Structure 1
Amino acid sequence: MKWFALRYIFQIISGDGNYASQFDEQLRLIQAKDAQDALTKGEGQSEHFHRPFRNCNGELVKWEFICIADLYEIEPPGDGSEIASVLHEPKDMAFFLEELKRREAFLHQSIFIENPN
């Protein structure tokens, strides 16, 4: 069996859909014998990832599966395994680096709050 990373695209629909369109992009690992098997298995599992729920306004919120947009064969997962890579070519490098610093600070703050020891 081989490992594959699949990029799922879901549309999030709240109530009657009169909200700004939201799409959820997820990377998930699938173990399969080949790429076709991974795609078939991945599409079959897509219906079970998100259960509908009611938001604070009582409106039904659901994730509608759109497609699997990418599929990559990867090395068997282990500690430190790469599962995704995104290349950036920012127009404003200073802004990009500042945004990364803000995200890093938020991450460290969040971890500290969750694990105060």
Structure 2
Amino acid sequence: MEKYLAKLMFNINIDNGSDASQFDEQIRIIESHSLEEAFYKARVIGKKEEEVFTDSSNKQISWQFIDVSDVYSLDVVKDGDQLYSNTHKIKDTGSFIKFIRQKSMEIQAKNLTFA
């Protein structure tokens, strides 16, 4: 079995579109015998993750699987290779940078050997 990374895309719809749609990108590790099998296995995972529920504000939330947008073999990955990139458009730059640095501090706090 080989290991692959698959990017699954979801549409998060709130109250049947009354709020702006959100899109969630998920990177999953898939073990399979081929890239084609990894693709179809990732699709099955995505379909299983679809759900509709009501949140604490009584809004209906729908997670709809769109499709698998990328599959990469981990066998060809070398040290330092880029596996994923996502550009964010943020109005409050300072708050976003503070948020990212806080997340980094949380990682370091969990493993003090490199803090």
What TM-score comes out, normalization by structure 1 length? Answer: 0.67
Shift of residue 107 of structure 1?
Answer: 3.4
User: Which residues of structure 2 form unaligned runs of 5+?
Assistant: 88-92, 111-115
Root-mean-square deviation (CA, aligned residues, Å) is 3.3
Contact 1:5–1:83 (8 Å) recurs in 2: no
What percent identity do the matched residue pairs reach?
A: 22
Aligned positions of 1:1-117 closer than 5 A: 1-75=1-75, 84-86=83-85, 99=97, 103-108=100-105
More helix by share: 2
Deviation at 1:57, TM superposition (A): 2.3
Question: Distance in 2 between the 1:109 and 1:34 partners?
Answer: 36
Which structure 1 residue ranges, 5 or more long, are not aligned?
89-94
**Paired residue type of 2:7:** R
TM-score norm. by structure 2 comes to: 0.68
1:69 shift after superposition: 0.7
Report how many aligned residue pairs link the two structures: 101
Judged with a 3 Å threshold, the aligned counterparts in structure 2 of structure 1 residues 52 and 37 are, in CA distance, closer, same or farther, namely same
